[in-house]
Amino acid sequence: MNALRGLGKIAQQSLRRNVCTTLACRSTYESDGKTSVTILNKEADAGLMINSYSQFGFRLNNDMVVIGPMAIFSRTVLSWNVESHEDINDESLSLFCAIEPKIDVLVVGIGDHTITPSFSKKIIDFMKRYRINVEVLGTEQACSTFNFLNAENRVVAAALIPPITMRVNEDDLMQKQIAISRTFEVSDK
C-alpha cells in the first residue's frame, strides 16, 4: 500500500511538472465573439496516439498532457466538457456529428464505470441517426481501440473520460523502481 501511495505522489509531481511545460492547447474568447484554437500536432503524417492515462488525464505521443476528459481525433485534441459518464448525452456527443470529414467510428471511453446495455443503447441510438458507428468501452480498452483504428488511417474519434481508479501491477512498480534508480546514476562522460 505504501508503494501505491509513493507511486501516486510521483505521478502527481510528474503531472504538475508536465502540465507546466507541455500544455500548448488553449482556447481564448475575444470580445468580437471569435474563438481561436491552437492546433496541437501540425505534422501531416504523424497522427495523435494515446501513450498513457491516469486519473488526471492523458499523455499523447507528442508528449502533450491533456487534463480531464478529452475528445481526440487523428490530428486534433479538444477538452470534452463532461465530468463523468452520467454527463454523456445528445448535447455532449453533438460535437462528433458536426465535424467534417465525417468520422467512421466514435470510441467512447467511460472511465472504469460498468457499461450497462441501456447506457450503451442511448449513445448508439443517437449516433445511428448520423450514421456513425460507436464502441462504448472502459477507458483502457477505448485508448487501445482508438490507437489501433487511427494507425490504420481510419477516420476515427474518441471521447474519453479518465478512470477514477488505476490498476497497478508488478511490472508497473518494477518499471517505476528502475526509472527512480536511474535518476541517481552518475554518468562517466
Domain ranges across the chain: 50-166
86-125 b/e (C-beta count within 10 Å ≥ 16 → b):
eebeeeebeebbeeeeebebbbbbbbbeeeeeebbebbbe
CATH fold, domain 50-166, is: Hypothetical Protein Mth938; Chain: A, (3.40.1230)
Which letter does DSSP use for residue 86 in this model? Answer: G
Dist CA 8 CA 30 (whole Å):
38
Which residues of the chain fall below pLDDT 70?
A: 1-46, 166-169, 171-172, 187-189
pLDDT reported for residue 25: 39
- Contact between residue 159 and residue 81 where contact means Cβ atoms under 8 Å apart: no
**At 32, is the secondary structure helix, strand, or coil?**
coil
DSSP-assigned beta bridge partners for residue 109: 137, 160
pTM for the whole structure: 0.65
pLDDT reported for residue 174: 78
Block residue for cell numbers 465573439: 33
pLDDT reported for residue 157: 94
Over residues 134-183, the pLDDT tens digits come to 999 999 899 999 999 999 888 999 999 998 876 666 766 777 788 788 77
pLDDT reported for residue 185: 72
pLDDT reported for residue 92: 85
